[in-house]
Structures are given as C-alpha cells and as structure tokens.
Chains A and B, each alone.
Chain A
Amino acid sequence: MSENLNQLYQDIILDHQKDPRNFGELKDATSRREGYNPLCGDRVQLALKCDKIEGKLCDIRFRGDGCSICMASASIMTEEVSGQDLGEVRRKIEHFRDLMKGQVDPDTIESDLGALAGVRHFPVRIKCALLPWMTLKEAVDEEGAS
C-alpha cells in the first residue's frame, strides 16, 4: 500500500468525509457563498453567521458535493473557525494556504488540520483542499467590506 496514499487518506480525513461536522443549513446566516471548481465538479456552499460589532464568526455550516479531500477540508475548516474572531479566521486561512504550499511543519499542528498536510504530495488535489478555505476567504472579505 502506497505510503503517500496512507498519508493522504488518513483515518481522520475519511472520518470527516463520512461524518462531516457542521454540515447542513444555517437559518439565520448573515452571508452565504458558493465555491465551485470547474475542472472537477467540486462544489462547496458556506453559510456564515457573523457578528459585525464583535467582529466574530459566530457560526458556520457547509453543504456541498465533492471529493473526500474537499469535503473533509470543509468539515475540518468549520471546526477550526467557528466561534473565532474574524482576524483569527483570516489568519487561519493564510496558515492553511501556507500548509498547502509546504511552508508549515505539520507536526506543529495539534488539531485534525494536520491530517490535511498529506495533500501537498498530490498537487492536483491541493485545489480540492483549498476550495472551502478560498470560499470562506471570499465570504469573510465580503463581510468586511459591507
């Protein structure tokens, strides 16, 4: 069995895919954003509830149709950012991008996020892992602007 495949499809990833956290509808969402990867058909829909006065991402849900990497990444992402202030959310997005670029030592990550580190060995799949995060960035940027 390929070592790389085991690194990519760690149990944590498959667990998040089969049992995604924060999956579903958010009725009092303050913004929604959809991300789509035309090359492969991955689709992610985010619903955010932001408190502008506190500058906080109070709650987040996602829906979508995509590969295990995309869906697991979305699930892990929602756990990372839910309840955080928006500055921290932005920092986490950049941190994940750096992780995908190979600029972060995965051993320094304690949460399930570290499980996504294996994606960087499969360059074609990096887009799948990034899709939810880039969609989140657009949503947060829009919240900041309005």
Chain B
Amino acid sequence: MGKLNSDYRSHFPQLASADGEPSSLYLDHAATSLKPKSVVDAVSKYLSCETANVHRGVYRLSEQASERYEQTRAQVARFIGSKNEQEVIFTSGTTDSINRVASAWGDQNVRASDLIICTRLEHHSNFVPWQQLAIRKNARFEILECNERGEFDLFQWREILKRNPKIVALSGASNVLGVLPPVLEMGRDARAAGALVVLDAAQLAPHSRLDAGGDAFDAIAFSAHKVYGPTGLGVLWMRGELLSTMQPIEFGGGMISRVEDQTTTWAPVPQRFEAGTPPIAEVLGFSAALEFVESIGFEAIQSHEANLVHCGFEVLGKIPGIRIFGPGPGSPRAALFSFGVEGVHPHDLATFLSERRISVRAGHHCTQPLHRKLGVPATTRASFGIYSTTEDVEKLAQGIHECVSFFKRSLR
C-alpha cells in the first residue's frame, strides 16, 4: 500500500473547520483518538449497504461480512507481530480484555498465597482486575514502585522475580507520565521466573509494533479507539497454548459446537472466546484504522511524535511554575505531557483552555495509585496524535500562559 500523504490532518473530518467557527484544538488523544475518514466510511458502508451477521448465514452478504471480519483478525495479528491469527480475540476494549484474562485464566489458575504484581504506573483497568483477583483467591497483591520519572525500583523488581510471581501486569506506555518502560526485558525476565505476563498496550499500540510473536508476553490487550478506530472494540492476544486450556467465561451463540440438553462443547479458539454477535461495524472500521496506521508506518509516527515531544518541552518548559511529570527531555516518551501549574488547579486550567476551544484532560486519568505517589490529587494532560502539529503545542503553551495571568490577577 502506498505511503499516506503527509498532511495527516486532512484525513480527519473532525478537524475540518466549519465556516466561521474558530477551530478547535483536540489534545486528548490518549483518551480517544480522532478518526480518519476511511474509518468513518468503513463503518457507515457496513451499516448502510453491507449489513449482515457473521458466521451465521450462507447467503453472500453474510459470507462477505464473515470473510472481512476474519481478514481483520489476520490483519490485527500482523499488526501486533503475531504469526497466528487464532491467538487474536476481539473484545469490547482493553478493560474487557484484561478482565477476561483475570477471570478466565486468573480464577482458574491462581491459588491462595500466589503473588500477583502490578506496577505503580498502571491504569485502573490493569490494576483493579488484578487487585480483585487477589482478594477473591486470597493471593498476595504487590505493587512494583517507580519514581516520578516512571523508572522502576530495580532492586524491588529483582526481589519480586526471586519470589516467582504468578502474574505480572505491565504497561507498555504510561498514559500519565509518557514513560515507555522496558517491557520486553521485564516480560522475558518475568516469564523466565514462571509468571504469566500481561501487557496493557492501550497507549503503546498506536506508537510501535508490539511483540506478540516474541517471548516477552503471554497476553496483550489494547483498544481500537486509541488506534484511530471506533469505540466499543478491543483486542486480546494470548498465547495459543494458554487459550487452548482456558475455560470460556462467556457463553452463548457463536462459541459453541454442540449444545445438548445437559452439556455443551465449545467451538475452537478463538471463536470459543467470542460469544454473541460481535461489533461487526467496529471491526471493519478498525480494519480501515490499521490500514491507515500501516500506510503511515511506525517510523514516521515515532518521528512525528518525537518532534512534538521536543517542541513540548521547549514551549511548556518556559511556563513559570510548570511541573512536567515523567521522563525529562532527551528520554524516550510517548507524545503526551501531564503537568501541574503553580497557582492553577488542573480543573480550572482545563476549563479556561476549554473556553479557548482547547481540549485537555484534567483529573487523575484513571491512575489514582500513581497520583498518590506523585503527591498530587490531579494533573492536566495534553496528548497528541498523528494529526497534532507543533503549532498545536505552541497554542497550548500560549493558552496556559494566559490562564496563569488570569488567575494571578486576584493576588494582592
């Protein structure tokens, strides 16, 4: 497929300025990404003239839908570096994917006193399911600590490995600090110590090729809507040998083979883990999204993001009283900045910027454990996608400067 025209913004209908309306600046990519027209079109096309259910009909429309659905599964497998599309399960999102591992694998395999490890960086979706699993099973739940830059306590990590953890849950990229932990190395070490390694790739998936074919992870979870795709859809990749021994936890149509009066046998993997009618329109939209990303290429994406990060440090760094969390300039970072500004609460900053039609996020970004460690109740976060420009970053900085002046005016 050909390389995409590098005027990336032109692909996003939401960024087309309506006549007379001041343009809006969307800086919440980490919450959900904007969608390229090809994704919108793919969803609309299915809903308006290709509608049929999958795996059920023998008529042509259904066959076509089924074929495209399964082709997308294969496309996802390639996208994440896996050679086996049977290891790709469509779910309703990262949260659903991780919960499924915690239930289907966790409940079936974790025993009392087993050790379950999360990191201080984790999003609630890769923290609470494990915490609750540990409570259910009377297992030990411990947190691998990190510093303000998101660097792990390596001494603690080595101690953890010696205790043969049962499950280690890691994040490929922090949605708050932007840090990119060394998950390949950590995953390999943890698997060598006997752990099931689960990677939350929600923030990492749009940024670099995942390692589903390698030896670092047992399960990978991510969401379509953060990779320029529609909402309501995610992926769970899991090693085939694990899937084949896992009992399903959701039952019904699509995941069965024979349903007798008193017993049922299961469909093969992955259908066994996809009960009910799947989000077909969303899967087809996701296919268009993956094509979009692949046509730009991860190298171009990373170069674009590095440019934004560099600009970010330069202009945001000049704001008096700003505190940027996470790795410093020069260290690898996902294209996002969480920060505090002295004298202005994140909420007030976000409201002020919203009036300037700049959309940033304020709060704890679903990471209460991390914000406790940072010692702040909330931060403001600006996050960038392929459609973001250095101009956007400069407008953000300008908006923050004005906000600081606005709130300073009441100082006596």
| Partner-B contacts on A (CB < 8 A) | 1-2, 4-5, 8-9, 11, 14-15, 18, 38-43, 65-70, 122, 124-125, 128
Min CB gap B124→A, angstroms? 10
Excluding A41-B377, A42-B378, 20 further A-B contacts by CB distance (< 8 Å) are A2-B355, A4-B355, A5-B355, A9-B348, A38-B368, A39-B363, A40-B346, A40-B347, A42-B377, A65-B377, A66-B345, A66-B377, A67-B347, A67-B378, A68-B345, A68-B348, A68-B407, A70-B347, A122-B351, A128-B347
Distance of A122 Cα from B348 Cα, bound (Å): 11
Distance of A122 Cα from B378 Cα, bound (Å): 19
Min CB gap A112→B, angstroms? 14
Distance of A68 Cα from B346 Cα, bound (Å): 10
Interchain CB contact under 8 A, A125 and B363: no
B interface residues, tally (CB under 8 Å): 19
Say whether B120 faces chain A, with CB atoms less than 8 Å apart. Answer: no
Min CB gap B350→A, angstroms? 9
Q: Which residue of A lies closest to B352 (CB)?
A: A5
Q: Which residue of B lies closest to A64 (CB)?
A: B377
| Partner-A contacts on B (CB < 8 A) | 345-348, 351-352, 355, 362-364, 368, 371, 377-378, 406-407, 409-411
Given A9-B348, A9-B406, A67-B346, A40 and B378 contact (CB-CB distance below 8 Å): yes
Distance of A68 Cα from B407 Cα, bound (Å): 10
Interchain CB contact under 8 A, A18 and B411: yes
Which residues does chain A contribute within 8 Å of B411, judged by CB atoms? 18
Interchain CB contact under 8 A, A40 and B362: yes
Which residues does chain A contribute within 8 Å of B377, judged by CB atoms? 41-43, 65-66
Subset of 30 A-B contacts with CB under 8 Å: A1-B406, A5-B351, A5-B352, A9-B406, A14-B407, A14-B409, A18-B410, A18-B411, A39-B363, A40-B346, A40-B347, A40-B362, A40-B363, A41-B364, A41-B371, A42-B377, A43-B377, A65-B377, A66-B377, A67-B345, A67-B346, A67-B347, A67-B348, A67-B378, A68-B347, A68-B348, A69-B347, A70-B347, A125-B347, A128-B347
Distance of A5 Cα from B363 Cα, bound (Å): 20
Distance of A43 Cα from B363 Cα, bound (Å): 12
Distance of A2 Cα from B358 Cα, bound (Å): 14
Q: Which 3 pairs of residues, A with B, have the shortest CB-CB distance?
A: A67-B347, A41-B377, A14-B410
Min CB gap B246→A, angstroms? 33
Which residues does chain A contribute within 8 Å of B406, judged by CB atoms? 1, 5, 9
Min CB gap A94→B, angstroms? 25
Which residues does chain B contribute within 8 Å of A40, judged by CB atoms? 346-347, 362-364, 378
Q: Which residue of A lies closest to B377 (CB)?
A: A41
Interchain CB contact under 8 A, A125 and B371: no
Min CB gap B321→A, angstroms? 15
